[in-house]
Amino acid sequence: MWDLLHTPVWLLGIGGVVLAVLCQGAALATGPLAVVQPTCILELPFALLVAGVAFRRPMSQAAWLGVGGIVVGLALALFAAAPGGGTLQAPASRWLAVMTCCLGAMAVLCAVAVQRPMGRSRAACMGLAAAVGYAQTAALMKSSTDTFSRRGHRRLFHLLADLRRRRAGRVRCSCWRTPCSPDR
C-alpha cells in the first residue's frame, strides 16, 4: 500500500474516483435518481472508449458488443420501467428492509463467486455484487443529499445517528416522517 501512495498514476486514479463521487453527489442533489443512475451506468462504456484512444489500441469486436449491450440494455430497461416522480424520502422501516436485502444479495453473490473457478462466472457474480452495492450507495446518497439540501448538515447527522440507534432497537424514530418502533 505504501508503494501505491508513491505512484503518481495510482494517486491520479484515486483522485478521479473521489471527483466522480463528488460529481455523482452533486448530480443526485439536483436531479432525480432515475435520471442520474442510468447516466452513471454509461461510465463503463465511456471509459472503454477513452482507454482505447488513450492507449492507441482499437477496441475489439467483443468489447464493442459489450458496449452496445450495455447501451441497448439500459435503453430497454428505462423504456420498460418508465421511471417517473416519486417521494424524496422513504420511511426508516423501508430503508432497513432494503439495506438488509441488498447486503444479503451481495453476501450470496460473493459466496457463490468464491465457489466458482476463476473465470467469467466468478467475475459476473462479483460484478453483480458490486452493482448492488453501488446502487444502494446511490440511493443512500440521494436521500442524504436531499436531507442535507432541505434541512442542513445537523439534521442529516441526527437522522443517521437515529437510524443507527434504531437498528440497535434502543429508540423510537421521532425524527422520521412516519412513526416507527423497534418491533415494526
The residue ranges of every structural domain in the chain are: 90-184
pLDDT of residue 177: 45
Question: Given 3-state DSSP classes, what are the helix, strand and coil percentages for the chain, each rounded to the nearest 5?
Answer: 75, 0, 25
Task: Return the closest-CA partner of residue 89 out of 156, 177, 149, 154.
Answer: 177
pLDDT of residue 88: 65
Please report, in tens digits, the pLDDT of each residue of the chain (184 residues total): 778 788 888 888 888 888 888 888 888 888 777 778 887 778 878 888 888 888 888 888 888 888 888 888 888 887 877 766 666 677 777 888 888 999 999 999 999 999 999 998 999 999 889 988 888 888 888 887 777 777 776 666 666 676 666 655 544 444 444 444 333 3
Report the predicted TM-score, pTM, of the whole model to 2 decimal places: 0.62
